[in-house]
Amino acid sequence: MNGFLPGAGVDLHLEPDAAAGRRAGLEKALRAAVREGRLAPGARLPATRRLALELGVSRGTVKAAYDQLVAEGYLTARQGSGTRVAALPAVDAEQPGAAARARAPRFDLRPGSPDVGAFPAAAWLRALRRAIATAPSLAYDYGDPRGRIELRTALSGYLGRARGVVAPPERIVITSGYVQGLALLTRVLDGASVAMEDPGLPFHRDVVRHNGGAVVPVRVDERGVRAQDLGEQAAVVVTPAHQYPTGVTLHPERRRALTDWARARGALIVEDDYDGEFRYDRQPVGALQGMAPGHVAYLGTASKTLGPALRLGWMVLPPQLVDAVAEAKLHSDHHTETIGQLALAELIDSHAYDRHVRACRLRYRRRRDQLLGRLGGRRPVRGIAAGLHALVDVADEERVLARAEEAGLALGRLGEHWHTPGAGHPQGLVVGYGTPRERTYPEALEVLAKVLDGA
């Protein structure tokens, strides 16, 4: 016998063991559902008469099973509120997330995330409502792997005026974030050699390798990536507006050298414009893509401006790559979810996105100023006035990070970003000032200063 628990808050498939007997089989099935979490604490079970009808057993059998599980503590029964699942005591040692929660730092100054507490929930909700109210019925069907035309059109205008990107809608592909875009391009390059900045984010190197690419390091100095060191590679991945993690911007001469290299070799430049909107001492530097639209794949996301949870990114591609990338996207996940695309398009078209970015720019500028002011002369702070992170010089990363961990402070380290760790590379802390909530940030800086004082 089998059945569903319908109505009254739960809908759970049950397969009682008929060989164990009707009552015992039902008890065993319910007990297992509670233990495994398929019946959540507080969930209301159907009335005995209804469940008996669903399972094809007598009402007395169901009542007896309920009574037994109430006696064992799996269920509770109260007059007027029916029979519900009891809250069983948690066994922390067996919960996978328990250790991670115990290790969560008191203050998180690791780079990579914005202040997600500043997500514009009210503006997003308004945009979502308007988008859903005006969306055609076909928007809820399978769609173009390149993404919704509404968002591609909105991005075309925004990227052109805000980042200097040549972005016709037909050359834009919407992705589920930067990582998917990098993975799709690597697959299209089909095992080619890809130059990547050294230092640079290790995870991005892993993405290229896992998708069949061969990674070749290319050094970064105070003028950005050393374009003169590039050779036979089919592509290079760069962060020209604000290099990660050193914080330098690509010098104009290097920009010209890089685009000249791509034209001469027929190579591809992959531009990671991860935080290009956030420049604090001047207008943001325009995207490299505007200098060579036929040789640059421009990648951006909403992860730093809105939040990583949205999983919305975009690629502006050279014409010759659009079809190949769209086909790769089709076979990857068919298309990125639609409702978020429509909401983001509405947010951009209403200029609420611009207003939010401007507000974030002011907030992060204050945070960077606070960081510089609090550290004072303790350590040099490197990198242009931009983005969500800064590089702080230290002589011994391991010792400083150990002290920081004791103080409940999490930081990034420069050492992990080199292609070959150790080997006499400079050391430093990669301090992310975007992650902490506004109210905890000053205290986090106090802890950081004390850690550096004792290092």
Residue 178: give its domain's CATH number.
3.40.640.10
248 inside domain:
yes
Residue 2: what pLDDT? 55
Total structural domains in the chain? 3
Same domain, 280 and 415: no
Q: Give the residues across from 382 on adjacent strands.
A: 391
Q: What is the DSSP letter of 158?
A: H
How high is the pLDDT of residue 113?
A: 92
Beta strands in 176-312 (DSSP E): 193-198, 214-221, 224-225, 235-238, 268-272, 296-301
Q: Are 333 and 378 within one domain?
A: no
Give the relative orientation of helices 178-189 and 322-333 as an angle to the nearest 10 degrees. 120
Look at residues 351, 373, 391 and tell me which one is the last residue of a structural domain: 351
Strands 193-198 and 235-238: parallel
State residue 90's pLDDT score.
Answer: 55
What CATH number has the domain bearing residue 368?
3.90.1150.10
Do 200 and 213 lie in one domain? The reply is: yes
Q: pLDDT value at position 327?
A: 98
Together in a domain, 397 and 321: no
Which residues are within 8 A (CB) of 399 and not within 5 positions of it... i.e. 6 or more apart?
455
Q: How far are the Cα atoms of 17, 18, 46, 209 from residue 33, in angstroms, in the given order?
A: 13, 16, 14, 42
CA distance 87 to 39: 10
On whether residue 158 sits in a domain, the answer given is yes
This prediction's pTM: 0.82
CA dihedral 255, 227, 384, 117 (to 10 degrees): 90
pLDDT in tens, the chain (455 residues): 555 555 444 556 777 877 778 888 899 989 988 888 888 888 888 888 888 888 888 999 999 999 888 888 899 988 777 899 998 765 444 444 444 444 678 999 999 999 999 999 999 999 999 999 999 999 999 999 999 999 999 999 999 999 999 999 999 999 999 999 999 999 999 999 999 999 999 999 999 999 999 999 999 999 999 999 999 999 999 999 999 999 999 999 999 999 999 999 999 999 999 999 999 999 888 999 999 999 999 999 999 999 999 999 999 999 999 999 999 999 999 999 999 999 999 999 999 999 999 999 999 999 999 999 998 777 889 999 999 999 999 989 999 999 999 999 999 999 999 999 877 899 999 999 998 888 899 999 999 999 998 75
In a domain, 94, yes or no: no
3-state helix, strand, coil in the chain (%, to 5): 45, 15, 35
Please report whether residue 245 resides in a domain. Answer: yes
Q: Are 361 and 277 in contact (CB under 8 A)?
A: yes
* CA–CA distance, 409 with 398 (Å, rounded to integer): 14
State the pLDDT at residue 165.
97
Same domain membership, residue 239 and residue 181: yes
Whether residue 78 sits in one domain with residue 224: no
For residues 359 and 242, state if they share a domain. no
Widest distance between CA atoms in the chain:
85
Residue type, 328: A
Q: In the listed set 351, 386, 410, which residue is the last one of a domain according to the structure?
A: 351
Both 247 and 342 in a single domain? Answer: yes
pLDDT tens digits for range 146-203: 999 999 999 999 999 999 999 999 999 999 999 999 999 999 999 999 999 999 999 9
366 and 338 assigned to the same domain? no
Residue at a domain's end among 296, 329, 351: 351
* CATH classification at residue 64: 1.10.10.10
205 in the same domain as 141: yes
Q: How far apart are CA 113 and CA 387, in angstroms?
A: 11
Q: Give me 153's structure tokens.
A: 């059109």
Within a domain: 425: yes
Is 50 inside any structural domain?
A: yes
Q: How many CA atoms lie within 13 A of 126 on its CB side?
A: 10
Domain that holds residue 47: 3-85
Give domain status of residue 100, yes or no: no
Q: Are residues 187 and 305 in the same domain?
A: yes
In a domain, 101, yes or no: no
Q: Are residues 241 and 154 part of one domain?
A: yes
Give whole-number Cα distances, 419 to 192, 201, 215, 218, 296, in Å: 18, 9, 9, 9, 24
Residue 279 CB neighbours (<10 A): 19
Please state, in angstroms and rounded to a whole number, the distance separating the CA atoms of residues 290 and 296. 9
Q: Do the bridges between strand 428-432 and strand 389-393 make them parallel or antiparallel, or are there none, so unpaired?
A: antiparallel
The structure tokens 């999983």 sit at 311
